[in-house]
Amino acid sequence: MSFVRVWIHFIWSTRNHEKFINAGLKEKLLEHIKMNCKEKEIWLDTINCVSDHIHLLVSLGAEQTISKVVGLIKGESSYWVNKNKLTGTRFEWQTEYMGISVSESVVEKVREYIRNQEEHHRKKLFAEEYEAFMKKYGEKIMNT
């Protein structure tokens, strides 16, 4: 039997960073995404969101790709929110996303970061967080 463990920290925002996700929607949305991932055999380790974006820690399976996993989660969850009329207007995730590989040695640190999103975003806006991630990871990729 093959053994594969590739950790990815996913982040994406609501369309136009709209603050769609209130406390009531958050609980339902996170539970629904967990259930959907289980049904689709996506190993979702940790998940949390704030009003305008979401963080997930996923371990990819041997046959899974980053784009397929993201598409399954984003597409199905926005469809579910809209089908159940859980927001006053049409709910959408932005097209773009960030997927960052995570070393086994820092998985617990990433879990804690995701769990503490509410506290983290009392100090830093999503745009600032995104910019910091791009500065730390994106510039290295773009400048090679």
At 4-21, the pLDDT tens digits run 789 999 999 999 999 999
* Close Cβ partners of 46 (under 8 Å, ≥ 6 residues apart): 55, 56, 57, 110, 111, 114, 115
Give the Cα separation of 100 and 57 in Å (integer).
10
The CATH number that domain 6-142 falls under is 3.30.70.1290
HSE (CB half, 13 Å, CA atoms) of 2?
7
Give the containing element (helix H, strand E) for 56.
strand 53-60
Give the Cα separation of 50 and 71 in Å (integer).
20
At 78-137, the pLDDT tens digits run 999 999 999 989 999 999 999 999 999 999 999 999 999 877 666 666 666 667 666 666
Give the Cα separation of 98 and 45 in Å (integer).
17
22: tokens are: 């209130």
- Sorted by where each begins, the domain ranges of the chain are 6-142
pTM for this model (two decimals): 0.84
